[in-house]
Chain A
């Protein structure tokens, strides 16, 4: 029986607790939060024995084997380090750390202590993503990926989180190096990192504050991001994050030398993109029929899984947690390779560094423009 603890009792901790409760041979033995009332409410609802506001007390009193770290990202490094030093395996919510150097330190510490770590990229363990992974491993693409497209969008207008973030200049998300992007994009970047075979990648990023946010007086939160990733001029990828485009896509497309695949996370659909063409007018009529039959097949699969009680909203998280626990018990490799965690962190580092440079250049241009006109009357110039 694995003894599990949760550190940080906010919204995502609820999902962790609910999924852990569905897994056999494990038990939540303690929860803790800097705000003890939050720890108490989680403990009451999930019938957890120990709750409190001190991490060291949690580790010594509840003696967990695994700790789920669901605190804001700024504290991931310190909390994870302490848990590893105390001999606990760690499941860290995304983003794993604030930068690749911290990620490297923690993973090295885990190795040194003979412990395991994983990151909460649970979107990569949904039913549809696992089907995609199986197809790729079976050689469906016909070779190494040639190109990938990852969309990970976010609707700022329909979220209490966004309202709180935009209204609160002290919000913890604003203190992250990549601000809003830092807390969200790792899911979409990790999808690409999974299929890059080397660490030698070139990243070109362009980001900006959307006109909507600018009209609300926001100048710091970059909510539109486009990235080109290139691996030794062999495999390329586009990453798109947008708060404004509709639909709010969460899609991944991967193209090989023979075929491609298109995964829609929101609809839980996977479509095979056939590389070969039909002759003449057949190309106009047969592929739509094949496409329709594939979508119908996806519908049937989703309904079958729902009726079999295997289609929960957080099924990916349950699968990832289960796989992680199995790797601990059986001594097998963790479900997300450390190389992938590090590469995701490195790509994000480069993106945020480039956005910082862009921001500095923009501010410099604004200042130069103000000096040139010598009429600093707009609020942008004055700031």
Chain B
């Protein structure tokens, strides 16, 4: 593992790193990764209502070797953002919205990001803003099956028509980071993780299938699932933040040796629990999504556009993924191999079932 003593990183070991969304699924792993990379001064920003258990365990683990401060607040509040960003040399913006309504997703993604960016301008201490985005922003409509989805793939342009509040908010969040980078010279990188998994996450990613209708519909089939184990993803985020010479770059994060949807489902059933599932072939899932979309449009939203061709292309189209840029420019390598990551994940799912 590289450390701050050996590598030409853009910040020093005692420079302050602000991590927003520090109690989320990735947050504690990012704090852990920062300390592993030799950074000793971390400010973890959380909502007042957040469960601190995992973060506090991380802090306890590094007591004495790193200063990790918990700051509670709301990123919608400019005052809280000003206080949180004071003195920060790097901001890792993980906080995300799980809201399903467009205004709330937008408020909790875009307005909060704008508040952080403006606050950082006041302090003039920021050396890099790490914008943690998502694969959801990619259109994937015109990507051929033979070309991998990578950082050069187009972002959805008609995102307001997708019917997906999360995707809409993430695209707009990326836009505002780029705008502030251009207008005010805020140095930034964008990291787009695939499907982050690991202990603590119980649900099966929607890229494998959905159980909305009481029976698990397996939609992924032979598709590769763009998994990234939470610790590997955290390493990628930290490296994107501290590595010199990557300003303005975008990095997709997926692990090596990715399983197919079918294999993932087989392993899940074998190691966690057995349940009934039915495979829906790609052409059929495309037709069903298309019908749902048309009905939703025709009925003026009597059924919300939860399933549509945008979603099909983003989640269920056969796609290949690449982590070449991540390895080449950041020297990243997955710390946890996929078989081991899956074993830890399944074990945690089993534990959650019996809890």
B300 engages A312 (CB within 8 Å): yes
Asked if B101 and A38 sit within 8 Å, CB to CB, the answer is: no
* Residues A45 and B102 in contact, CB atoms below 8 Å apart: yes
| A296: interface (CB < 8 Å) | no
Chain A residue at minimal CB-CB distance from B160: A45
* B299 CB-CB contact with A under 8 Å: yes
In angstroms, Cα B350 to Cα A135, docked, is 55
Bound Cα distance A306, B303 (Å): 10
- Cα distance, A309 to B298, chains bound together (Å): 9
User: Which chain B residues border A170 with CB–CB below 8 Å?
Assistant: 77
Nearest-neighbor residue (CB-CB) of A13 within chain B:
B103
Say yes or no: is B331 at the interface (Cβ < 8 Å to chain A). Answer: no
Given contacts A37-B110, A37-B111, A41-B106, contact A306 B302 (CB under 8 A): yes
CB of B106 within 8 A of CB of A160, answer: no
Q: Which of B23-69 contact A (CB under 8 A)?
A: 47-49
Kindly specify which of A161-169, A220-228, A369-377 makes contact with the partner chain: A161-169
A9 in contact with B99 given A18-B301, A38-B111, A44-B160 (CB within 8 Å)? no
Q: Tell me, yes or no, whether A14 is within 8 Å of chain B by CB.
A: yes
Asked if B245 CB lies within 8 Å of chain A CBs, one says no
How does the 8 Å CB contact mask read for B305-349 relative to A, with 1 for contact and 0 for none? 000000000000000000000000000000000000000000000
User: How would residues 1 to 39 of chain A score, 1 for a CB under 8 Å from any chain B CB and 0 otherwise?
Assistant: 000000001110110001001100000000000010110
Q: Is the CB of A41 within 8 A of B102?
A: yes
B150: interface (CB < 8 Å): no
B-contacting residues, A285-324, CB 8 Å: 306, 309, 311-312
Q: What residues of chain B lie closer than 8 Å to A22, measured between beta carbons? A: 300
> Are A167 and B111 in contact, with the CB atoms below 8 A?
no
Contact of A14 among B49, B102, B298 (CB under 8 A): B102
What is the distance, in angstroms, from A126's C-beta to the closest C-beta of chain B?
Answer: 14
Q: Are B114 and A309 in contact (CB under 8 A)?
A: no
Size of B's binding interface in residues, CB under 8 A: 24
Measured between beta carbons, the chain A residues less than 8 angstroms from B74 are: 168
Per-position 1/0 for A29-72, Cβ under 8 A of B: 00000010110011011000000000000000000000000000
B-side contacts of A42, CB under 8 Å: 103
The CA of A44 and the CA of B158, in the complex, are separated in Å by 10
Known: A11-B101, A37-B114, A41-B103. A167 touches B47 (CB 8 A): yes
In the complex with contacts A38-B106, A41-B102, A167-B47, A312-B111 CB distance below 8 A: no
- In chain B, positions 96-114 with a C-beta closer than 8 Å to chain A are 98-99, 101-104, 106-107, 110-111, 114
A218 vs chain B, min Cβ distance (A):
11
Residues on B with beta carbons closer than 8 Å to the beta carbon of A312: 299-302
Max chain B C-beta neighbours (<10 A), residue from A37, A41, A44, A168: A41
Most A CB within 10 A of own CB, among B102, B103, B172: B103
Which A residues between 162 and 189 are near B, CB-CB below 8 angstroms?
Answer: 163, 166-170
The answer to whether A167 and B49 touch (CB under 8 A), given A306-B302, A312-B301, A312-B302, is yes
A341 to chain B: closest CB distance in Å? Answer: 26
The chain A residue with its CB closest to the CB of B79 is: A170
Query: For the complex, what is the distance from the CA of A167 to the CA of B50, rounded to whole Å?
Result: 8
In the bound assembly, the distance between CA atoms of A314 and B104 in angstroms comes to 18
- The answer to whether A163 and B103 touch (CB under 8 A), given A37-B110, A37-B111, A41-B172, is no
Nearest A residue (CB) for B111: A37
- A166 closest partner in B (C-beta): B49
B147 to chain A, nearest CB (A): 30
- For the complex, give the distance between the alpha carbons of A309 and B294 in Å: 13
Cβ contacts under 8 Å, B111 to chain A: 35, 37-38
Are B99 and A160 in contact (CB-based, < 8 A)? Answer: yes
Chain B residues near A37: list those with CB within 8 A. Answer: 106, 110-111, 114
* In contact, B101 and A14 (Cβ under 8 angstroms): yes
For B99, list chain A residues within 8 Å (CB): 160
Tell me if A9 and B49 are in contact (CB < 8 A).
no
Residues of A near B110 (CB, < 8 A) are: 37, 41
Closest approach, in angstroms, between the C-beta of A306 and any C-beta of chain B? 7
Min Cβ gap B1→A in Å is 36
**Chain B residues near A309 (CB-CB < 8 A):** 298-300, 302
Which residue in chain A gives the minimum CB-CB distance to B48?
A: A167
Which one of B48, B102, B160, B302 lies within 8 Å of A311 (CB-CB)? B302
CB-nearest residue of chain B relative to A216? B49
The one of B47, B103, B298, B301 in contact with A11, judged by C-beta atoms closer than 8 angstroms, is: B103
Q: Select B107's contact among A38, A166, A168, A311, beta carbons within 8 Å.
A: A38
Chain A residue numbers with a CB within 8 Å of B301 are 18, 312
> In whole angstroms, how far apart are the Cα atoms of A41 and B77 in the complex?
19
Query: Which A residues are in CB contact (< 8 Å) with B98?
Result: 160
Chain B residues whose CB sits within 8 angstroms of the CB of A38 once the complex forms: 103, 106-107, 111
Assembly CA distance A312 to B299 (angstroms): 9
- Most chain A CB neighbours (cut-off 10 Å) among B48, B49, B99: B49
Residues in A with CB closer than 8 Å to B168 are 41, 45
Q: Lowest 8 A-B CB distances belong to which pairs?
A: A167-B49, A167-B48, A45-B160, A11-B101, A41-B106, A309-B299, A11-B103, A312-B302
Given contact pairs A14-B102, A45-B160, A306-B302, a sample of 11 additional A-B residue pairs in the complex whose CB atoms are under 8 Å apart: A10-B104, A14-B101, A22-B300, A35-B107, A37-B106, A37-B111, A41-B106, A45-B102, A160-B104, A168-B74, A312-B300
Q: Would you give 13 A-B contacts (Cβ < 8 Å), ordered by A?
A: A11-B104, A37-B111, A38-B103, A41-B106, A41-B168, A45-B160, A163-B49, A168-B48, A169-B48, A170-B77, A309-B299, A311-B302, A312-B300
